Amino acid sequence: MSQTTLNLVAVTIFAFVMLSLLGPLFHWSPYIPAAAAFGLLGVATLDTLNWQGKAGTLLVDWVASFSPDHRERVLRHEAGHFLAAYVLEIPVTGYTLSAWEAFRQGQPGQGGVSFESALLEAELQHGLTSQLIDRFCTVWMAGAAAEQLTYGSAQGGGDDRQKLQLLWLQLKRPAAEGVLKQRWAALQAKALLEKHHAAYEALVAAMAQRASVEECQQAIVQHLAEA
């Protein structure tokens, strides 16, 4: 069962337990919370087995979408990825800012910036250059770096760290070296975003309007040129 679905089940069951405790005060039947909890567990199991946790992800994302702060944080996180990819010459093929947008486009997970990964996959077969490793690692860490620069801390970035860890497993390199690379890439991403702050803010504004990839790139180019 996916972590998202597990978290949703845990929170909902807790709510049902509280309802069962408070039920007598409001003259509710004790069978109502029990039946609801049983039904939720069944749906969660079906979600995990048949839908790979997509329904749980969509529901959690839908609930979170009511928070303007959450939407803004997601936007700034993904803009960090987008800008770093552009500056480091990793082609961006698309982006989404919610799990629902990702679902509509046939993408897994909660969405985000999509990159042209053919180069990375091809070089994995023949041995990656250190330059390409550095570029991808910096792009992966740029989302959390963008959050930290704006809010002082990062809530997202777990999936990005997992990508870096998976790459290190594929390269059969020591885990400790991967941790150091993650810290290095985070510092590089922070420096990149600070250097191109105007371009980053212009990109955030463009992505908030759901501009196309080409229009987002034009906003970056314009402000990079001005800088």
pTM of the full predicted structure?
0.72
Rounded-to-integer distance, Cα 82 and Cα 200, Å: 9
CATH number listed for the domain at residues 68-226: 1.20.58.760
Annotated domain spans of the chain: 3-64, 68-226
Model confidence band, residue 34 (pLDDT cutoffs 50, 70, 90) = low
Model confidence band, residue 118 (pLDDT cutoffs 50, 70, 90) = confident
pLDDT(224) > 70 = yes
3-state secondary structure of 94: strand
Tell which wins on pLDDT, 51 or 94. 94
Under a CB-based contact definition with an 8 Å cutoff, are residues 84 and 149 in contact? Answer: no
Over residues 53-62, mean pLDDT: 49
115-139 per-residue burial string, b: 16 or more CB within 10 A, e: under 16 = beeeebeeeeeeebeeeebbbbbbb
Q: What is the CA 125 to chain-centroid distance, rounded?
A: 27
Q: What is the pLDDT of residue 151?
A: 94
